[in-house]
Amino acid sequence: MTVALISGGGTGIGRATARELARAGASVAICGRRSEPLEAVRAELEGAGTECLAVPADIREPEQVDLIVNQTLDRFGRVDILVNNAGGQFLAPAEEISSNGWRAVHRLAVDASWNMTRAVATRSMIPNRGGVVIFIGFSPRRGIPEMAHASAARAALENLAGSLSNEWSRYGIRTVCVAPGTILTEGLEGYGAERIAAWERSIPAGRLGTPEDVAAVIAFLASPAASYVTGTTVVVDGGADAWGLAEPPPPV
């Protein structure tokens, strides 16, 4: 039995990833702050014959990370795939990002992902000599206006994936960062139609990505077919990182 644990598994990319890994035959544990979407995903997957555990929790709190990992191991006995999907950010000019705003983004994207990764690795993957850890980065990778805090956090995850690959490959653990571009999720819709249309115009593929586009890549990377892929970043962005921002810079 393969077991996948997905943070932020009730919506967007996390929900699509839970569905995709379930279709591939994995048992699934999902966590997030809101119980309602988690329960909806759990009911859907169990209705399709997949064993699913839903744990409402805030992974920014270390004791809640322990709760998630404890319940997952109690239910399934192991974790083979960890998808660090949970994150949150807001748009702001760099000079207006407060220390609290900066820390809020990094606490969820970086600190919580590290706490989840360390807990799963030390309690399951290292003893079992195998596993796959997926981090979620950002594209364009060169930086995004009004997202300095979030872009810096996601760049840290790219480097973490590489560093852990250097150390944990000896345990049979693969660590990979997936860097999605502009993906049409519930969270993206909050930025407004005009800004979303501008982002769409900057994508060579001519469309926004879907959560399913990203989930399919994650499922491949978590599979034996990707057994020689580790310590790198896989970009899923319709060509946006290669093209660049494709818009004028702020005026001097």
pLDDT band at 199 (very low <50, low <70, confident <90, very high): confident
Answer yes or no: is pLDDT of 202 > 90. no
Which region among 119-123, 144-148, 246-250 has the lowest average model confidence (pLDDT)?
246-250
The whole-angstrom separation of Cα 175 and Cα 171 is: 11
Sheet holding 27-32: strands in order across? 52-56, 27-32, 3-7, 81-84, 131-136, 173-180, 233-236
The whole-angstrom separation of Cα 208 and Cα 69 is: 34
Answer yes or no: is pLDDT of 60 > 90. yes
DSSP string, 190-215: TT-HHHHHHHHHT-TTSS-B-HHHHH
User: What is the percent of the chain where pLDDT is above 90?
Assistant: 84
pLDDT score recorded for residue 123 = 98
DSSP string, 97-130: --HHHHHHHHIIIIIHHHHHHHHHIIIIIHHHT-
Query: Scanning the structure block, which residue is given the tokens 């995903």?
Result: 41
Tokens standing for 207? 């469309």
- Report the topology of domain 3-238: Rossmann fold (3.40.50)
pLDDT score recorded for residue 235 = 98
- The DSSP code for 183 is B
The whole-angstrom separation of Cα 132 and Cα 174 is: 5
Does pTM surpass 0.85? Answer: yes
HSE, side-chain direction, 13 A CA sphere, residue 230: 21
pLDDT band at 31 (very low <50, low <70, confident <90, very high): very high
Answer yes or no: is pLDDT of 160 > 80. yes
Query: Scanning the structure block, which residue is given the tokens 């990764």?
Result: 117
Answer yes or no: is pLDDT of 120 > 80. yes
pLDDT band at 142 (very low <50, low <70, confident <90, very high): confident
pLDDT band at 234 (very low <50, low <70, confident <90, very high): very high
| CA dihedral (165, 168, 172, 178) positive or negative | negative
pLDDT digits (tens, 9 = 90+) for 82-115: 999 998 888 899 999 999 999 999 999 999 999 9
pLDDT score recorded for residue 58 = 96
pLDDT score recorded for residue 177 = 98
Answer yes or no: is pLDDT of 190 > 90. no
Parse the chain into domains and list their residue ranges.
Answer: 3-238
Across the chain, what does the average pLDDT equal? 95
pLDDT score recorded for residue 189 = 75
> What mean pLDDT comes out for the span 136-158?
94
- How many Cβ atoms sit within 10 Å of the Cβ of residue 133? 27
Backbone angles phi, psi at 10, to 5 degrees: -90, -15
The residues near 108 (Cβ < 8 Å, ≥ 6 apart) are 59, 60, 86, 87, 88
pLDDT score recorded for residue 170 = 98
